[in-house]
């Protein structure tokens, strides 16, 4: 990123620990607020990610920065034998575990607390790896992506869903107003952590998107890199494979 954005500006704690604390703080309200701030459109974006993954018929799937497990749970609709949702936040994972328990998916989905920049798996373990709204929270983006590359099997698919900034004038201006003023205020209504949604807005605004992020993926080693802007460019789906 061109600017190092952290959740708590006055804290000297490393970004990784701040992100963990922030998501622990907002975990109870995260799902409901996500639907509100995206007007439910994020469900449509996630569905596209799932369809892309299902086409490759993966047996083992890793969902990095899984949060409360929405994407991991949705991928249970595939023929995958095992789906692992990994996140640094115990609070988010607990919400996800409760949802998995209710859906009786415990045998197929495992929730794991771990650092995305130090994945606890051998090389070439997973046939497909996904990240939804998580890569911009990596403290070291190159390291996190390199770890994902390492544990992805040759020929495996990597799909990322992440926020981006619209490039067309009217949409770009509207996005700035919404992300800088409206989104943080909505977040304050739902969460006691006033810094969290300000951070999510700021981190989105400085994250490299489109061709810039494509080039980062290529530098790490990924091939067949593509980006697919969604809903006027407010989010983007990236796909890439491992040689």
**Tokens representing 174?**
């509207």
Please give the chain's pLDDT, 243 residues, in tens.
Answer: 445 799 998 899 999 999 999 999 999 888 887 787 788 899 999 999 999 999 999 999 999 999 999 999 999 999 999 999 999 999 999 999 999 999 999 999 999 999 999 999 999 999 999 999 999 999 999 999 999 999 999 999 999 999 999 988 888 888 888 888 787 777 777 777 878 878 888 898 899 999 999 999 999 999 999 999 999 999 999 999 999
> What CA–CA distance (Å, rounded) separates 162 from 229?
10
> What CA–CA distance (Å, rounded) separates 169 from 221?
34
Question: What pLDDT is attached to residue 131?
Answer: 98
> What CA–CA distance (Å, rounded) separates 150 from 79?
24
> Under DSSP, is residue 178 helix (H, G, I), strand (E, B) or coil?
helix
Question: What pLDDT is attached to residue 3?
Answer: 57
Question: What pLDDT is attached to residue 191?
Answer: 73
Burial code of 121-136, b = ≥16 C-beta within 10 A, e = fewer? beeebbbbbbbbbbbb
Q: Angle at CA 87, nearest 5°, toward 141 and 163?
A: 50
Residue bearing tokens 């949705």: 74
Q: How far is CA 100 from CA 9, 95, 109, 123, in A?
A: 35, 9, 7, 27
Could you tell me the pTM of the whole model? 0.92
Alpha-helical regions (H) of the chain: 15-26, 30-37, 41-54, 70-74, 90-102, 141-151, 169-177, 183-190, 196-206, 211-220
Rg (CA), the chain: 17
Phi-psi domain of 155 (left: phi exceeds 0; alpha: psi -120 through 50; beta: other):
left
> What CA–CA distance (Å, rounded) separates 140 from 127?
24
> What CA–CA distance (Å, rounded) separates 189 from 32?
12
**Tokens representing 186?**
């909505």
Question: What pLDDT is attached to residue 4?
Answer: 78
Question: What pLDDT is attached to residue 158?
Answer: 98
């Amino acid at each position: 990123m061109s600017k190092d954005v952290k959740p708590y500006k006055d804290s000297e704690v490393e970004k990784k620990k701040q992100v963990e604390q922030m998501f622990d703080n907002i975990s109870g309200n995260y799902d409901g607020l996500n639907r509100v701030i995206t007007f439910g459109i994020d469900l449509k974006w996630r569905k596209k990610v799932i369809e892309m993954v299902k086409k490759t018929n993966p047996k083992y799937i890793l969902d990095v920065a899984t949060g409360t497990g929405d994407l991991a749970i949705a991928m249970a609709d595939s023929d995958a034998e095992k789906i692992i949702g990994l996140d640094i936040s115990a609070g988010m994972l607990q919400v996800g575990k409760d949802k998995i328990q209710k859906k009786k998916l415990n045998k197929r989905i495992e929730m794991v607390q771990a650092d995305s920049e130090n994945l606890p798996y051998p090389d070439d373990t997973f046939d497909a790896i996904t990240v939804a709204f998580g890569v911009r929270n990596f403290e070291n983006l190159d390291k996190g992506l390199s770890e994902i590359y390492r544990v992805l099997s040759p020929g495996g698919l990597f799909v990322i869903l992440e926020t981006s900034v619209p490039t067309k004038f009217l949409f770009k201006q509207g996005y700035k107003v919404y992300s800088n003023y409206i989104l943080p205020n909505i977040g304050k209504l739902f969460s006691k952590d006033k810094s969290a949604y300000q951070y999510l807005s700021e981190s989105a605004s400085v994250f490299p998107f489109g061709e810039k992020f494509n080039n980062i993926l290529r530098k790490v080693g990924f091939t067949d890199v593509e980006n697919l802007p969604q809903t006027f460019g407010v989010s983007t789906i990236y796909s890439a494979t491992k040689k």
